[in-house]
Every structure is written in C-alpha cells, then in structure tokens.
Chains A and B, each alone.
Chain A
Amino acid sequence: MENDEVYLEAAEKLGYPGSASCIKFLRVLFTPEEGKLLLEFLQPATCEQVAKRLNIDEKSLQEKLDDFKRRRLLFYGKTEYVFRFGIHVFFARIPHAKDEYIPPGFWEAWREFHPEEIERFQKGITGILDGPQTAGVPPNRVVPYRLAIAASPKIKPEEVLWYEDMAQIFAREEQIGIVECPCRKEFQNCDRPLMTCYYFAKHTLKRDINEYSVMKKLSVEEAIAYSDELEKGGLMHLMGNYAGVPDYVMCNCCECCCVVLKPAIRSGRLRQLYSPSRYLATVDTDLCVGCQDCAERCFFNAIEMRLTLNSKKKKAYIIKDNCMGCGSCVVGCKQNALTFELVRPPEHIPDRPARMDFSAMPGVSIVREETLK
C-alpha cells in the first residue's frame, strides 16, 4: 500500500494523476525506495542538499545518483539534479541508456503507457497551435534533401541558403551525435533505419557520447554521408523553423512511426506544425515512366498519377498545395524525371524561432542542462 503511494504520488507530480498505465510504467523504471529519492528532485537540488534534508549519508546518495545517471532518470549539471517527466524524457533520455541500464519490460510498459501520453501530448500541441502565440508560423520546417538540390539543374548553388543545406548545417555544428529514433524503435511500422536522430546539444553531447548513453559521435563528413543514405531511404529532415542550425536535435521522420508527423498528416494539421521548404518538386512527364515510386515515397499525398497525352501509362503529377518540398520523390526517381524548383523567397524561413509557451505541457519543455549548476 505504501509502495503504491509512491507511484501514485509520482504519477500525480509528473502530470498523470491516477493513470494506471503510468503507474505500471513507473514500476518498471524504479523501486519504491528509488521513487522516494527521485521525488526529492522535482526542483533542482544538489546531492548535499537532499542528503541533509533526508538526513542520510551523502556518499551513498551520490552512488545512487550516479546509478540514476546511467539509467538516465535525471537531468543533471555539475552538482544539481532534476527529475522531470514527459515525452522528452521518454524519448530522449531513458531509451538512450546503454542496454544494461534499460530495465526489463521497459518497451512493453512504455507501449502500454504511450497512447495515453500521446493523447495528452497531442492535446497540448493542438492547444498551442490554436492559440495566439504561433501567429500562423509553424514551429518546424522541412530541410530539403541535399541530394535533391544536387539533382536539380535549375537550382543555382548560390540560391541555396546555408541553413537549408544539410552539408553546411553539419559543418557549422560543434559536435554531432546520433542515436536511435525512439518513435521507430517503439512502433516498428516500417523497416527504415533506426539510427536517425542527430543531436547537437552542446552541453550534453560530449558527456552523452562518452558516458551514459548509446549516442555515437559523427564527423561532419560522416554525418553528411549518413544523411545522404537517409535521403535515399526516404526520411524527412525536420528541425525548428528558423534561419540557423538545429540547436538540439534534427529528426529524420517517417509518416508511419513519428509521433508528431503521423498524427499531423492524419489530422490535417500538417501545415500548422511544419513549414514546407522553399522548393517544389516538378515532373518531366516525358521522362516519367509511371513506376509510381515517387507516389509511394511521398508522405503528403502530393503526387497523383494522371493520364497524359501520348502515353498509356499514367504519369506523376505534383499537387502543389500538398508538396512540402522535402525532395524524397526527386531522390527516389530512377528516371531523373523529378527535380526541384525554387518557389519561395528567403524570407519564407523566419530569422528566429517562434516563442512558444510549453508551460501547459511540462514534459515537452526541454530541460536545458546547461542551466543547471
């Protein structure tokens, strides 16, 4: 009974009051004793402070905190720790622990809990999108395929902005790490690669790569080469909607697993969440042989097969209003029948990220570990 109270309290404090599946999930993550300790860190605190507060041995608490670090249950600075929950933790923290620190039954319990969490998350996102703060500017943008730009003779190199060129983006990052996509790992709705999340968070990257995570370090050249492979595989580069490098993460999403993109496509809120790139795919129907590979690759129903003159085969036709300018069709076309056209001015990409108030969604707000002492 007393044991249950810890999980009940944790669930409530974390924003999931009374959720049975949350409690079940928490049981997998930590013991009741560990739970009690973790709840002491709902606000940033040092080992020393908590040891004093609980009147326990600081050294043994430090050992426990080190264990939590390896299990990635806490965010931490040099001396401060904080216990937060929400999509960010589920996605970017615990699953990135080394295999031996992921508790048995984690994925099963997560799969059971996740639908509830997603619903909450979706509601939160919808609330923000429909609120006044976004001013119609989507929070994310599509970064066009590097290979698609290269395959488009109409695009002059000087027209390409550095922050829409994957190679230049990577070149400007201090460090690049890559980990498995938690969405794809969880849902496994496709057989696309798992290692697709680029991380750039300066403060934590060095530590994560070396210590308590499975994150791998990539050189700029490796990152570009790997990104090219992801483009061939048809994954969408997504980052914050502003003129700069991603300061935290760049996703490479699929329509079938991504917890944001998939519901966005289905709910018709795609354009609220994602800004298209400045490019538009166009078809040369003389070169198109109607194989439909492009239609299959397109996440956005932007390609329709239509009858054309002088051909029994239907040819690809781009529905401009649906095209997000990702370049997947361009790269997937064996006939080189698809190319990019530049259709939007540089002002299309905002200078700065839109300010969004995530306070109603505590889990979404990224804990900036650099702000911890």
Chain B
Amino acid sequence: MNKNNAYIELADKLGVPNSERFLKILDAMFTPEEVDICRELFAPATCHELAGRLDIDEKDLSRKLDSLVDRGMLTRGKTQYAFHTSLLAFHHECVADTAPHTGPNAIPQNVKKLWDDFFRNEWSYMFMEHTDKMIKATGRSLPISPAIEALERSPNISPDTIMPEENWKLRIEKATRRIIAPCGCRVVWGVCDHPLMTCFACFDRPRGDYYLNQPGRLLKEVTLAEAIDIALEAEDAGLVHWGDCYCCDCCCENLFPVTRDKRFELMTPNRFLAVVDEDKCQGCQDCVERCKFDAIEMRQSAGSKKLKASISAEKCKGCGFCIIKCKQNAIRYEIVRPPEYLKPPPPPNSRQTGQPVHVIPVWGHYDLK
C-alpha cells in the first residue's frame, strides 16, 4: 500500500472520504508510519500485539506510540493504546480541547489553519447532514439546555418542576470532580472574544481525569463556585448551552453552520419557552440582538408607540438568553413540554435503515487496560 492509500484509508475510517482538505490535515499531522499505526488502533491493542501485527521492532514502536500519545493522537492505558474512532473525537482529542496547546508538542499553527479551512468549507456541512440524519432517525437532536439564570429569573417555575437532566446547576453541584477544558472550537479557529474556558466535556468524566495535568493541556480543575461562575459568565456572554458546550454562532462546529445556513430547525428546543410581558417591555431590542435563533420580532403593541418584543413559540429554543439580559425583567420562562420530552430518543437505526448514526459522539478510550 502506498502512502496515499494509507492516508485515504484512515480518512475513510474516520468517516471523511473524498476530502482533499482532510488528507492535507492528516499529511501535516502524521508520518506514513504513524498512519499505519493509527489505522491498526481503532480497537485497543498493546505495543506487543501491534509490533507483531505490523511486524516491526517493539522498542522502536513503543517510542513512536509514546510520541503519538504526547501529541494527543492516541490514548494510553497501562499497556494498551487506542486511536479515536470518529471525526468528532479525532478533532477534539488531537487538535482541540484536550490536545496539547503549549510546550514542544503544541498543535502547530498550520494544522489549526488547515482545520479551519476544512471546517468552514466541508465539515460544517457534514455536521449539518449528520444532525439532519440524527433527527430523521430519532425524532430530534440533543435539546439545548435552559440557562441557570433564566430559570432563576422565572419565579413562576418551581424548582421541583425542573428535571435533573436539564438542571445544569444541580449537575455542577453534584459533580465529584470539576474539570474545565477550553472550548474545542474556539481554541482552534476562534474568531471571537467569547470566553475560552467553557467546555464541560471533561467535567466529572473519565476523560477529564485522563487529560488533567498532562503536558501542554489547558484543562484545569475548579471549585464548585468557580464552575458555577463559568456557567453564568458563559450564559451572560450569550453562549448557547448545548450538551457539554457553550457555543457561539461564529465558531461552534454545530451552531456556526446552522446559523450560517439559517437551519435552526436542526437545533432542538428544550421544555422552556421565553414569554414577554408586553407591559414591562421597553422596546430596547436587546433581546432581539441576543437571540441566536431569530425568534424575537418587534411588533406593534396596543397603547404604545414603541414596538414590543414578541417571541415566536415555534422558533424559540428555550436558551433563555433574552431573559437573562432583559433590564426590565419583562421576559420569563414558561414550561411548554412535559418531562417525558427529556427521555432519551430511541436507539439509532431503529426508524430507518442506512448508515449508523452516532447520537453520542464516540470519544476516545480512557479506560484502557
């Protein structure tokens, strides 16, 4: 197998066939030998096993494996090694949030640039397709989380009606370890001034334990109060809380393409709807500016010369950002969907045949033997 074929096979296995841009990235990141190694590690293996399979010197291989681990390309257990099995995981582990960003193994600037090009021109479209497929297969994608502060600013919402899985404050409070990583999107192709340390994908998870304190990584462990502050600041900055992420529409792998192409139907609402009290609304339009989903329109209102905010129940995703920043406290949450709405969707492929759909991205392996 010549060099090109090995790279193409690796790209295929990661779910990115026929992409010149992605091949350029692989070429910039891996030597041909390393590609051969990674191709073999879609399932975990020890150095000894791998040396046998590839028919190469075990000591030499061990050094190469260590180098790949240091650069974030592989994860390592006591004896086992593994590669990342999806494009999403590959991005986040090898380039983004848990990848090394300082020191000798820091991701080079040219690789980040190639990723940016790949993301803006290809991956962002793939991402939407993927979400589209997921919605068709399961009925919906992951709902946006309601903002902590918006819930607190809605006195009509009794705390016991907030379900644990949508109660992010409770999740932060109950965590045993609170590890924060940089946002995987902003750290690579960030083009904005939004806060960077906002990623909760390592929060109270084996992934966090694995990467914390590893050389060159930006992850940090924070206190309960700090974690709450990070969440509140992210909400304040208008970062959409989706899954473990606090997303901006200028960088996020999900929100950027959806915003660019106005495909807001790909973002799934939560159980909450923002509702305006017209009498309190002063027409400042701050909410219109804050809304990422074009859900707020200024409309004529009886008895007022000022246009007042009006929120479309169809377009509102329940992110709550309008509520947080309303100086008049004129907006509050109403619960509009039952708790059953939060039950996980049926497993992928159950509704239609075809390519497998990853509801939860397949991350790397952090529990290797």
Chain A residues engaging chain B, CB cutoff 8 angstroms: 289-292, 295-296, 298, 305, 311-314
B283 within 8 A of A: yes
In the complex, per-residue mask of B46-57: 1 if CB is within 8 Å of any chain A CB, else 0: 000000000000
Q: Which residues of chain B from 274 to 329 have a CB within 8 Å of any chain A CB?
A: 282-285, 288-289, 291, 298, 304-307
Q: Which residues of chain B from 30 to 72 have a CB within 8 Å of any chain A CB?
A: none
Ordered by A's residue number, 16 sampled pairs between the chains whose C-beta atoms are within 8 Å are: A289-B285, A290-B285, A290-B288, A291-B284, A292-B282, A292-B284, A292-B305, A292-B307, A295-B306, A296-B304, A298-B305, A305-B298, A312-B288, A313-B285, A313-B289, A314-B298
Q: How far is the CA of A290 from the CA of B298 in the complex (A)?
A: 11
Q: How far is the CA of A289 from the CA of B284 in the complex (A)?
A: 8
Q: How far is the CA of A314 from the CA of B285 in the complex (A)?
A: 8
Measured CB to CB, the nearest residue on chain B to A315 is: B285
Q: How far is the CA of A289 from the CA of B288 in the complex (A)?
A: 12
Q: How far is the CB of A222 from chain B (nearest CB, A)?
A: 32
Cross-chain contact B298 with A296 (CB below 8 angstroms): no
Cross-chain contact A313 with B305 (CB below 8 angstroms): no
Cross-chain contact A291 with B285 (CB below 8 angstroms): yes
Cross-chain contact A314 with B305 (CB below 8 angstroms): no
Q: Which of A291, A311, A312 contacts B283 (CB 8 A)?
A: A291
Q: How far is the CB of B263 from chain A (nearest CB, A)?
A: 18
In the A-B complex, list the 9 residue pairs whose CB atoms are closest, starting with the nearest.
A313-B285, A292-B306, A292-B283, A290-B285, A296-B305, A312-B289, A312-B288, A291-B284, A296-B306
Q: How far is the CA of A298 from the CA of B305 in the complex (A)?
A: 9
Q: How far is the CB of A312 from chain B (nearest CB, A)?
A: 5
Q: How far is the CB of A136 from chain B (nearest CB, A)?
A: 30
Q: Which residues of chain B from 176 to 235 have a CB within 8 Å of any chain A CB?
A: none
What number of B residues sit within 8 Å (CB to CB) of A? 12
Contacts of A311 in B (CB 8 A): 289
Q: How far is the CA of A192 from the CA of B288 in the complex (A)?
A: 31
Q: Indicate whether A290 sits within 8 Å of B284 (C-beta atoms), given known contacts A312-B289, A314-B298.
A: yes
Q: Indicate whether A295 sits within 8 Å of B305 (C-beta atoms), given known contacts A290-B284, A305-B298, A314-B298.
A: yes
Starting from the known contacts A292-B284, A295-B307, A314-B288, 12 additional A-B residue pairs (CB-CB under 8 Å) come to A289-B284, A291-B283, A291-B284, A292-B283, A292-B305, A292-B306, A295-B305, A296-B304, A305-B298, A312-B288, A313-B288, A314-B307
Q: How far is the CA of A311 from the CA of B288 in the complex (A)?
A: 10
Contacts of A312 in B (CB 8 A): 285, 288-289, 291
Q: How far is the CA of A291 from the CA of B309 in the complex (A)?
A: 12
Measured CB to CB, the nearest residue on chain B to A297 is: B305
Cross-chain contact B289 with A305 (CB below 8 angstroms): no
Contacts of B289 in A (CB 8 A): 311-313
Q: Which residues of chain B from 147 to 181 have a CB within 8 Å of any chain A CB?
A: none
Q: How far is the CB of A324 from chain B (nearest CB, A)?
A: 15
Measured CB to CB, the nearest residue on chain A to B294 is: A312
Q: How far is the CB of A146 from chain B (nearest CB, A)?
A: 24
Q: How far is the CA of A252 from the CA of B166 in the complex (A)?
A: 56
Q: How far is the CB of B105 from chain A (nearest CB, A)?
A: 41
Measured CB to CB, the nearest residue on chain B to A303 is: B305
Measured CB to CB, the nearest residue on chain B to A295 is: B305
Measured CB to CB, the nearest residue on chain B to A299 is: B305
Q: How far is the CA of A292 from the CA of B288 in the complex (A)?
A: 13
Contacts of B283 in A (CB 8 A): 291-292, 296
Measured CB to CB, the nearest residue on chain B to A290 is: B285
Q: How far is the CB of A301 from chain B (nearest CB, A)?
A: 8
Measured CB to CB, the nearest residue on chain A to B286 is: A313
Q: How far is the CB of A11 from chain B (nearest CB, A)?
A: 38
Contacts of A290 in B (CB 8 A): 284-285, 288
Q: How far is the CA of A289 from the CA of B298 in the complex (A)?
A: 14
Q: How far is the CB of A295 from chain B (nearest CB, A)?
A: 5
Q: How far is the CA of A118 from the CA of B307 in the complex (A)?
A: 32
Q: How far is the CB of A343 from chain B (nearest CB, A)?
A: 24
Q: Indicate whether A305 sits within 8 Å of B288 (C-beta atoms), given known contacts A292-B283, A314-B298.
A: no
Contacts of B288 in A (CB 8 A): 290, 312-314
Q: How far is the CB of A254 from chain B (nearest CB, A)?
A: 13
Q: How far is the CB of A238 from chain B (nearest CB, A)?
A: 21
Contacts of B307 in A (CB 8 A): 292, 295, 305, 314
Contacts of B305 in A (CB 8 A): 292, 295-296, 298
Contacts of A314 in B (CB 8 A): 285, 288, 298, 307
Q: Name, among B291, B298, B304, the residue most crowded by chain A CB atoms within 10 Å (CB to CB).
A: B298
Q: How far is the CA of A311 from the CA of B304 in the complex (A)?
A: 23
Contacts of A313 in B (CB 8 A): 285, 288-289
Q: How far is the CB of A71 from chain B (nearest CB, A)?
A: 40
Q: How far is the CA of A295 from the CA of B285 in the complex (A)?
A: 13
Contacts of B298 in A (CB 8 A): 305, 314
Q: How far is the CA of A290 from the CA of B285 in the complex (A)?
A: 7
Q: How far is the CB of A265 from chain B (nearest CB, A)?
A: 12
Measured CB to CB, the nearest residue on chain B to A311 is: B289
Q: How far is the CB of A307 from chain B (nearest CB, A)?
A: 10
Measured CB to CB, the nearest residue on chain A to B297 is: A314
Q: How far is the CA of A289 from the CA of B291 in the complex (A)?
A: 16
Q: How far is the CA of A291 from the CA of B291 in the complex (A)?
A: 16
Contacts of A296 in B (CB 8 A): 283, 304-306
Q: How far is the CB of B281 from chain A (nearest CB, A)?
A: 10
Q: How far is the CA of A296 from the CA of B305 in the complex (A)?
A: 5
Q: How far is the CA of A296 from the CA of B282 in the complex (A)?
A: 10
